[in-house]
Amino acid sequence: MAIGHQKAEDKGQIRNHELSACGFTDKPHNALGSYDLANDKEQIRNTKDKTMSPIQINDTTLRDGEQSAGVAFTVAEKVIFASLMDSIGVHELEVGIPAMGSIEAEAITEISNLGLQTLLTGWNRAVRSDIDASLACGLERVHISVPVSEIQIAVKFQGNCERVFKQLRDTISYALDRGLYISVGGEDSSRADDKFLLDVALAAQDYGASRFRFCDTVGILDPLTTYSKVQELVSKLTIPVEMHTHNDFGMATANALAGVRAGATSVNTTVNGLGERAGNAALEEVVMGLKRIYGMNIGIDTTRFKEISEFIVEASGCDIPPWKAIVGDNAFAHESGIHGHGVLQNPATYEPFSPEEVGRERRLVIGKHSGKHLVTSFLDKYGIALSLEETRSLIDAVRDLSVELKRGLTPDELLNLIPNH
């Protein structure tokens, strides 16, 4: 049981570090002006040891993300994506399902051979042949998933609860003998009987697993329930707890953060929130939430989030809506009179953090809701000064044209509305 004890110590260190460094003090968001890009980069450079981060991001874009209906990445896309994630400092990647064989195993093997700093983990069922497939891909870390809710056990194990323990014990022992790091996941943890879930997690720890994944597989939790369920696991286990949350009620990120607040130290994410059905907790949302709401800098270069989001839009063929948090086109766009007026004086009036922090730029849009300040500031750039009366009629014309076009105006369209220009 040396492994178990070692992990317990690690976990204690993480906690102390987390509390002293971050403290969850409920401090308000840092004001926009306090953002210091150079300091951020320096902190990222200094976080060389990935295991020292208070929270580990274990991104599963290549596994759960690709399980989105209709999504299939090529081997080349998977390899490029893994390198991108490594270069921004993501701590761990769930690289796929080795037991699928063929092209999936080929991609995982190629990624294993890249020599990345990011830890690589394969997804497995609790059977020896899956572990063999992971080993054949060159992986040193395996995630083993078992069903833990009544409905999942009925469908997958014919209602035989004992099989959960038997197969888990056998597969963990097989993987341990081969020197692998083992994470165990309770599929459908959120709908499992609490006592049974704890029994499985404690058994996994006892058999030699180094981490337990709490899965809200069908995304039915809210943050308060998540907090109490995860806190119970964290208080009874000595191994770290990982969050795996789905977005069926739009709460994947909130639930992931609630889990962290309850003591989970690892979080599954996907870029753009890609994933089964309504998707998973989005990488960009979780990392920015940890950074800006909880004040935890976990050593990930957030300035490349836009670039990575665009890569996944392209590779998955799945667009994101303009209002998507962090990476959507409108996430830093302002059109309305009141907001435009505020942002022109101080961007923090209507922005939670600076767009540069996530590789974005602020965009001021002239459209139906724009007012005098936004229009005047735009005209200033062209050296155009209008009287109050002229500005009013221009704003009326802007409204009419925006409604007609059903969108904001381009600079040329606005200039064309000014008589004698």
How far is residue 402's CA from residue 328's CA, in Å, rounded to a whole number? 21
Residue nearest to Zn ion (CB): 64
How far is residue 400's CA from residue 368's CA, in Å, rounded to a whole number? 8
Nearer to Zn ion, 188 or 284 (CB): 188
Is 216 among the residues that bind Zn ion (CB under 5 A)? Answer: no
- Answer whether 241's CB lies under 8 Å from 233's CB: yes
Residues in the chain: 421
Min CB(380)–Zn ion separation in Å: 50
Min CB(206)–Zn ion separation in Å: 25
String of contacts with Zn ion for each residue 8-47, x by CB under 5 A: ----------------------------------------
- Answer whether 311's CB lies under 8 Å from 62's CB: no
Nearer to Zn ion, 233 or 395 (CB): 233
Those residues whose C-beta lies under 8 Å from the C-beta of residue 331, and which sit 6 or more positions away, are 323, 324, 325, 355, 360
Residues numbered 296 to 335 that lie near Zn ion (CB under 5 A) are none
Q: Give which of 272, 204, 265, 273 is closest to 245, Cα–Cα.
A: 273
Nearer to Zn ion, 64 or 92 (CB): 64
Burial of 390 (0-12, 13-18, 19+ CB in 10 A): middle
Nearer to Zn ion, 245 or 297 (CB): 245
Min CB(230)–Zn ion separation in Å: 16
How far is residue 307's CA from residue 120's CA, in Å, rounded to a whole number? 22
Min CB(217)–Zn ion separation in Å: 6
Min CB(385)–Zn ion separation in Å: 57
Return the structure tokens found at 149.
């809710």
Nearer to Zn ion, 212 or 294 (CB): 212
Partners of 182 in the beta sheet? 142
String of contacts with Zn ion for each residue 49-88, x by CB under 5 A: ---------------x------------------------
Min CB(376)–Zn ion separation in Å: 50
Min CB(408)–Zn ion separation in Å: 37
Nearer to Zn ion, 246 or 360 (CB): 246
Those residues whose C-beta lies under 8 Å from the C-beta of residue 216, and which sit 6 or more positions away, are 189, 190, 226, 244, 245, 246, 252, 255
With CB under 5 A as the rule, give the number of residues binding Zn ion.
1
Nearer to Zn ion, 256 or 348 (CB): 256
Interface with Zn ion (CB under 5 A)? 64
